[in-house]
Amino acid sequence: MDLPRSFTIRESGHRIHNPFTSEKLALLGRALSPAPGTRLLDLACGSGEMLCTWARDHGVTGTGVDISTVFLANARARAEELGVGDRVGFVHADASGHVADEPVGLAACVGATWIGGGVAGTVELLRRSLAPGGIMLVGEPFWRREPLDRATVEGCHATDKDDFLPLPELVEEFGRLGCDVVEMVLADQDSWDRYAAAQWLATRRWLDAHPDDELAEEMRADLAAAPARHVRHQREYLGWGVFALMNR
């Protein structure tokens, strides 16, 4: 049970595996200002940057769950680097079935709503771990502009235009799920650039170091196409944000 090696190669230069800068992650933490000791469950936590930095900056405690052994090793190393290894822990598991042993004040799935089969299922999953009055954090793409053709949809790694909603409709969807949106921090085009371009550099460095690897041809083809795909499609059409939700 793990992520494909091609994905972890592309993402090897990231601490945050979404188009979200460290500054925006810190802004979200300041906006929510969780009380010291607040427990955070982070499903599909990646390399654990949210949990580790919020433990350092806000005194939260908690658990991150992820399917990637590579990312979890990074998360544990990051926790030790920041001196919060005694306050946070990480579990190698399929996050789609994970529920906290005790209710938590913050339940998050930032950028991986596939674990619940989409936004609605992910909100229901997070609710199963949430304490009364707690906050859910959902990271999700949305259309900045309506895609006009199939090439744009596929260039944004979607199978259908309906995979994502425009921002107003996404916010309204949270309401239909019985949630109040109480905060949001959105990526911008520069955030997307930092996320995408770091993948290109990581891929190129890996190719230079592993020219004969069995994945080299696939990774070379991806690198050749990725920059143009980003500036033609993702950068212009796809937004992304983290939305803080409370049960009504």
Domains detected in the chain: 5-145+160-189+240-247 (3.40.50.150)
What's the confidence (pLDDT) of residue 148?
Answer: 87
What's the confidence (pLDDT) of residue 97?
Answer: 87
What's the confidence (pLDDT) of residue 22?
Answer: 97
Q: Give CA–CA dist 65/236, Å, rounded.
A: 32
For the chain, what is the radius of gyration of the CA atoms? Answer: 18
State the pTM of this model. Answer: 0.96
What's the confidence (pLDDT) of residue 160?
Answer: 92
Hey, what are 243's tokens?
A: 């939305």
Residue ranges for the chain with pLDDT beneath 50: none
